[in-house]
Amino acid sequence: MSLRLGDIAPDFEQESSVGRIKFHEWLGDSWGVLFSHPADFTPVCTTELGLTAKLADEFEKRGVKTIALSVDSNESHKEWIKDINETQAANVGFPILADRDRKVSELYDMIHPNASETLTVRSLFVIDPKKKVRLMITYPASTGRNFDEVLRVIDSLQLTDNHSVATPGNWKQGDDVVIVPSLQDPEIIKQKFPKGYKALRPYLRMTPQPNK
Ligand code: BEZ
Protein backbone atom coordinates (compact mmCIF):
# COMPACT_ATOMS: atom_id res chain seq x y z
CA MET A 1 0.00 0.00 0.00
CA SER A 2 1.39 3.41 -0.75
CA LEU A 3 0.92 6.08 1.87
CA ARG A 4 0.30 9.76 1.30
CA LEU A 5 0.57 12.83 3.49
CA GLY A 6 -2.53 13.21 5.63
CA ASP A 7 -3.27 9.47 5.70
CA ILE A 8 -3.64 7.73 9.04
CA ALA A 9 -0.38 5.91 9.76
CA PRO A 10 -1.23 2.20 9.63
CA ASP A 11 -1.39 0.50 13.02
CA PHE A 12 0.54 -2.74 13.62
CA GLU A 13 1.80 -5.10 16.25
CA GLN A 14 5.41 -6.22 15.92
CA GLU A 15 8.39 -7.50 17.93
CA SER A 16 11.08 -5.00 18.86
CA SER A 17 14.29 -4.71 20.83
CA VAL A 18 12.21 -3.63 23.84
CA GLY A 19 9.38 -6.19 23.47
CA ARG A 20 6.20 -6.44 21.43
CA ILE A 21 4.84 -3.06 20.30
CA LYS A 22 1.27 -2.11 19.43
CA PHE A 23 2.14 0.95 17.40
CA HIS A 24 -0.78 3.32 18.00
CA GLU A 25 -0.96 2.38 21.67
CA TRP A 26 2.82 2.89 21.98
CA LEU A 27 2.56 6.33 20.34
CA GLY A 28 -0.20 7.44 22.72
CA ASP A 29 -0.61 11.22 22.43
CA SER A 30 2.94 11.79 21.21
CA TRP A 31 4.32 12.67 17.83
CA GLY A 32 6.29 9.83 16.28
CA VAL A 33 9.23 9.28 13.95
CA LEU A 34 9.26 5.84 12.34
CA PHE A 35 12.33 5.17 10.21
CA SER A 36 13.69 2.17 8.38
CA HIS A 37 17.21 0.90 7.67
CA PRO A 38 18.49 -1.52 5.08
CA ALA A 39 20.10 -3.85 7.62
CA ASP A 40 21.81 -4.22 11.01
CA PHE A 41 25.60 -3.92 11.22
CA THR A 42 25.83 -1.54 8.27
CA PRO A 43 27.92 1.61 8.60
CA VAL A 44 25.51 4.39 7.64
CA CYS A 45 22.69 2.95 9.78
CA THR A 46 25.04 2.69 12.73
CA THR A 47 25.73 6.43 12.56
CA GLU A 48 22.05 7.29 12.07
CA LEU A 49 20.91 5.33 15.10
CA GLY A 50 23.73 6.81 17.17
CA LEU A 51 22.63 10.30 16.10
CA THR A 52 19.00 9.62 16.95
CA ALA A 53 20.04 8.41 20.41
CA LYS A 54 22.17 11.50 20.98
CA LEU A 55 19.26 13.73 19.94
CA ALA A 56 16.92 12.04 22.46
CA ASP A 57 16.50 15.25 24.51
CA GLU A 58 15.64 17.24 21.37
CA PHE A 59 12.97 14.72 20.36
CA GLU A 60 11.60 14.61 23.91
CA LYS A 61 11.39 18.42 24.10
CA ARG A 62 9.10 18.31 21.06
CA GLY A 63 6.99 15.43 22.42
CA VAL A 64 8.30 12.99 19.81
CA LYS A 65 8.93 9.24 20.23
CA THR A 66 11.38 7.63 17.82
CA ILE A 67 11.25 4.04 16.57
CA ALA A 68 13.55 2.38 14.04
CA LEU A 69 12.99 -0.69 11.86
CA SER A 70 14.97 -3.25 9.97
CA VAL A 71 14.08 -6.69 8.73
CA ASP A 72 16.68 -8.35 10.99
CA SER A 73 15.97 -10.29 14.16
CA ASN A 74 15.80 -9.06 17.72
CA GLU A 75 18.91 -11.06 18.65
CA SER A 76 20.76 -9.22 15.90
CA HIS A 77 19.34 -5.84 17.01
CA LYS A 78 20.50 -6.41 20.58
CA GLU A 79 24.07 -7.20 19.49
CA TRP A 80 24.07 -4.26 17.07
CA ILE A 81 22.86 -1.82 19.76
CA LYS A 82 26.01 -2.67 21.76
CA ASP A 83 28.12 -1.71 18.73
CA ILE A 84 26.16 1.51 18.14
CA ASN A 85 26.57 2.57 21.75
CA GLU A 86 30.27 1.80 21.72
CA THR A 87 31.22 3.31 18.36
CA GLN A 88 28.92 6.36 18.46
CA ALA A 89 29.27 7.15 22.19
CA ALA A 90 25.49 6.87 22.38
CA ASN A 91 22.86 5.14 24.45
CA VAL A 92 20.11 3.73 22.23
CA GLY A 93 16.97 3.94 24.36
CA PHE A 94 14.35 3.75 21.61
CA PRO A 95 12.95 0.53 20.12
CA ILE A 96 14.15 -1.08 16.90
CA LEU A 97 11.40 -3.12 15.26
CA ALA A 98 12.40 -6.63 14.22
CA ASP A 99 10.35 -6.80 11.04
CA ARG A 100 11.34 -10.34 10.05
CA ASP A 101 8.05 -11.02 8.28
CA ARG A 102 8.17 -7.56 6.59
CA LYS A 103 4.69 -6.80 7.89
CA VAL A 104 5.49 -3.17 8.76
CA SER A 105 7.83 -2.69 5.78
CA GLU A 106 5.01 -3.63 3.45
CA LEU A 107 2.37 -1.57 5.27
CA TYR A 108 4.61 1.51 4.92
CA ASP A 109 5.92 0.67 1.42
CA MET A 110 9.51 0.57 2.69
CA ILE A 111 10.68 -2.08 0.23
CA HIS A 112 11.37 -0.68 -3.24
CA PRO A 113 12.07 -3.78 -5.34
CA ASN A 114 14.07 -1.94 -7.98
CA ALA A 115 16.45 -0.73 -5.26
CA SER A 116 16.49 -4.04 -3.31
CA GLU A 117 14.15 -7.03 -3.45
CA THR A 118 14.53 -7.81 0.21
CA LEU A 119 15.88 -4.87 2.21
CA THR A 120 14.08 -1.71 3.26
CA VAL A 121 15.16 1.65 1.85
CA ARG A 122 15.82 4.59 4.16
CA SER A 123 12.22 5.71 4.73
CA LEU A 124 11.19 8.12 7.45
CA PHE A 125 7.70 9.11 8.56
CA VAL A 126 6.69 11.86 10.96
CA ILE A 127 3.32 11.08 12.54
CA ASP A 128 1.28 13.59 14.54
CA PRO A 129 -0.74 12.96 17.73
CA LYS A 130 -3.85 12.31 15.60
CA LYS A 131 -1.80 9.54 13.91
CA LYS A 132 -1.69 11.40 10.61
CA VAL A 133 1.38 11.11 8.39
CA ARG A 134 2.88 14.61 8.18
CA LEU A 135 6.27 13.99 6.54
CA MET A 136 7.63 11.18 4.38
CA ILE A 137 11.20 11.07 3.13
CA THR A 138 13.01 8.32 1.25
CA TYR A 139 16.78 8.25 1.00
CA PRO A 140 19.04 5.82 -0.80
CA ALA A 141 20.92 3.22 1.23
CA SER A 142 24.27 4.97 0.79
CA THR A 143 23.14 8.41 2.10
CA GLY A 144 22.54 8.98 5.80
CA ARG A 145 19.63 11.23 6.65
CA ASN A 146 19.98 14.69 8.20
CA PHE A 147 18.33 14.46 11.62
CA ASP A 148 18.68 18.21 12.19
CA GLU A 149 16.40 18.56 9.17
CA VAL A 150 13.93 16.09 10.67
CA LEU A 151 13.81 18.22 13.85
CA ARG A 152 13.46 21.38 11.74
CA VAL A 153 10.43 19.95 9.93
CA ILE A 154 8.85 18.88 13.23
CA ASP A 155 9.36 22.44 14.54
CA SER A 156 7.72 23.80 11.40
CA LEU A 157 4.75 21.41 11.65
CA GLN A 158 4.24 22.24 15.32
CA LEU A 159 4.40 25.98 14.58
CA THR A 160 1.72 25.52 11.92
CA ASP A 161 -0.51 23.50 14.24
CA ASN A 162 -0.08 25.79 17.24
CA HIS A 163 0.32 29.26 15.71
CA SER A 164 -1.19 29.27 12.18
CA VAL A 165 2.13 30.08 10.53
CA ALA A 166 4.15 28.37 7.83
CA THR A 167 7.93 28.47 7.46
CA PRO A 168 9.79 29.84 4.44
CA GLY A 169 12.49 28.02 2.51
CA ASN A 170 15.65 27.41 4.57
CA TRP A 171 13.83 28.66 7.68
CA LYS A 172 15.60 28.10 10.96
CA GLN A 173 14.65 28.73 14.58
CA GLY A 174 14.26 32.46 15.25
CA ASP A 175 13.75 33.51 11.62
CA ASP A 176 10.55 35.25 10.58
CA VAL A 177 7.67 33.03 9.47
CA VAL A 178 4.66 33.55 7.21
CA ILE A 179 1.04 33.85 8.25
CA VAL A 180 -0.94 31.05 6.62
CA PRO A 181 -2.97 32.37 3.66
CA SER A 182 -6.22 30.91 5.05
CA LEU A 183 -6.06 33.35 7.98
CA GLN A 184 -7.79 36.53 6.78
CA ASP A 185 -9.83 37.91 9.72
CA PRO A 186 -8.00 41.12 10.82
CA GLU A 187 -9.19 40.80 14.45
CA ILE A 188 -7.88 37.23 14.75
CA ILE A 189 -4.62 38.24 13.07
CA LYS A 190 -4.19 41.07 15.60
CA GLN A 191 -4.81 38.69 18.51
CA LYS A 192 -2.56 35.94 17.20
CA PHE A 193 0.33 38.17 16.15
CA PRO A 194 0.72 40.94 18.73
CA LYS A 195 4.24 41.63 17.41
CA GLY A 196 2.65 42.69 14.11
CA TYR A 197 3.39 41.62 10.56
CA LYS A 198 4.67 43.00 7.30
CA ALA A 199 2.65 42.37 4.13
CA LEU A 200 5.13 42.22 1.23
CA ARG A 201 2.19 41.18 -0.90
CA PRO A 202 -1.38 40.45 0.28
CA TYR A 203 -0.50 36.73 0.14
CA LEU A 204 3.00 37.10 1.68
CA ARG A 205 2.76 38.29 5.27
CA MET A 206 5.91 37.96 7.36
CA THR A 207 5.79 37.93 11.16
CA PRO A 208 8.32 37.22 13.92
CA GLN A 209 8.31 33.60 15.10
CA PRO A 210 5.40 33.63 17.61
CA ASN A 211 6.87 31.24 20.20
CA LYS A 212 10.21 33.05 20.61
C1 BEZ B 1 24.81 1.22 4.68
O2 BEZ B 1 25.55 1.54 5.58
O3 BEZ B 1 23.65 0.85 4.88
C4 BEZ B 1 25.30 1.29 3.27
C5 BEZ B 1 26.55 1.81 3.00
C6 BEZ B 1 26.99 1.89 1.70
C7 BEZ B 1 26.17 1.46 0.66
C8 BEZ B 1 24.91 0.95 0.94
C9 BEZ B 1 24.48 0.86 2.26
Report the chain's mean pLDDT, rounded to a whole number.
Answer: 96
Cα 139 to ligand 1 centre (Å): 11
Amino acid at 14: Q
User: What does the alpha-carbon distance between residue 163 and residue 157 come to, in Å, rounded to a whole number?
Assistant: 10
Amino acid at 4: R
Q: Are residues 59 and 132 in the same domain?
A: yes
Q: Are residues 167 and 138 in the same domain?
A: no
Task: Dump pLDDT digits (tens) for 54-97.
Answer: 999 999 999 999 999 999 999 999 999 999 999 999 999 999 99
Instruction: Provide the number of structural domains found in the chain.
Output: 2
Q: 151 an active-site residue? A: no
| pTM score above 0.85 | yes
Cα 141 to ligand 1 centre (Å): 5
Q: CA 137, 53, 140 angle in degrees (round to 5)?
A: 30
Atom of ligand 1 lying closest to residue 42 CA: 2
Cα 149 to ligand 1 centre (Å): 20
| Catalytic option among 9, 21, 34, 45 | 45
Q: What separation in angstroms does the CA of 34 have from each of 51, 150, 152, 172?
A: 15, 11, 16, 23
Q: Is 45 in the pocket of ligand 1 (CB under 6 A)?
A: yes
Q: Which domain holds residue 64?
A: 13-144
Report the CATH number at residue 20. Answer: 3.40.30.10
User: What does the alpha-carbon distance between residue 53 and residue 74 come to, in Å, rounded to a whole number?
Assistant: 18
Which ranges of the chain does DSSP label H, i.e. alpha helix? 23-27, 43-54, 56-61, 74-88, 103-107, 147-163, 186-192
Task: Dump pLDDT digits (tens) for 152-208.
Answer: 999 999 999 999 999 999 999 999 999 999 999 999 999 999 999 999 999 999 999
With cut-offs at 50, 70 and 90, classify the pLDDT of residue 1: low
Q: Is 42 in the pocket of ligand 1 (CB under 6 A)?
A: yes
